[in-house]
Amino acid sequence: MKVSIITAVYNGESAIVRTLDSVAEQDHRDIEHIIVDGDSQDATLPLVRQHGSRVSHCVSERDRGVYDAFNKGLRIATGDAIAFLNAGDTYVDPNVVSRMVGALTSTGVDAAFADTLIVDRRDEQRILRRYSSRLFTPKRMRFGLMPAHPSLFMRRTIYECIGEYDAAFRIAGDYELCLRAFLRSSARYCYVHEPIVRMPDGGLSNRSWRSKLVITQEMMRACRMNAVPTTYLLLSLRFAVKVFELW
């Protein structure tokens, strides 16, 4: 199975090498690493050229945000399965892609996902939270629960069926796409009970209380777009789950 790994980056000179090296170390043979750069003004592109031994495509131009960048990668991707690993994120070991491909092929599902470790960006050995996908079911998306997006490996045929990310979203575009995949299209899935990605804290969805407010508002909009009955109170219940995930 050919796997396309899409990395979105903008002015990521301090983070991109870790991600490039992590993908390069994977033991799965057939990997297509796609870099979508938002016209960085720092040393990101020279570092991609220097360290991107498994980079198949590199696009560098201005975009309208991370989901616009994801869509550019999707249009290039030729893999049977597609995953997203943003600048700074890394796989926990060199066997991750092989294990996720094994989960997809052995069970015949459309998507496989696992857990993600949120780590201190100043000390990546310090784990702050384990973002678990264990509780996910499509019906629980009305409570704001979704698979950990960096851990999601999904067949390209699903994207061909449901379409691209909605670039009008700032933070919750992955949640909205999962609504289409798992609720509207009933994609078959399996959960791999282990962490497979390290993600530094401080991302779009967990920078501040303001970002949490924005993502909740966007989740509500996504649910309305997809005719999913919910309320702000129900969506806020996901914060209680996150408390129990603290390391």
For the stretch 217-228, pLDDT in tens is: 999 999 999 999
**Average pLDDT rounded to a whole number, residues 82-94:** 97
Amino acid at 218: E
Query: Whole domain around residue 106: which residue ranges?
Result: 3-245
Predicted pLDDT of residue 70: 98
User: In 3D, which of 67, 21, 17, 73 has the Cα closest to residue 44?
Assistant: 17
We report the CATH number of the domain holding residue 187 as 3.90.550.10
pTM, full prediction: 0.94
Q: How many domains does the chain have?
A: 1
- Whether pLDDT at 2 is above 90: yes
Q: Under a CB-based contact definition with an 8 Å cutoff, are residues 111 and 180 in contact? A: no
Cβ-Cβ contacts under 8 Å for 22 (sequence gap 6 or more) = 85, 89, 90, 91
Report the percent of the chain where pLDDT is more than 90. Answer: 89
- Whether pLDDT at 75 is above 90: yes
DSSP for 60-102, written as a single string: E---SSHHHHHHHHHHH---SEEEE--TT-EESSTTHHHHHHH
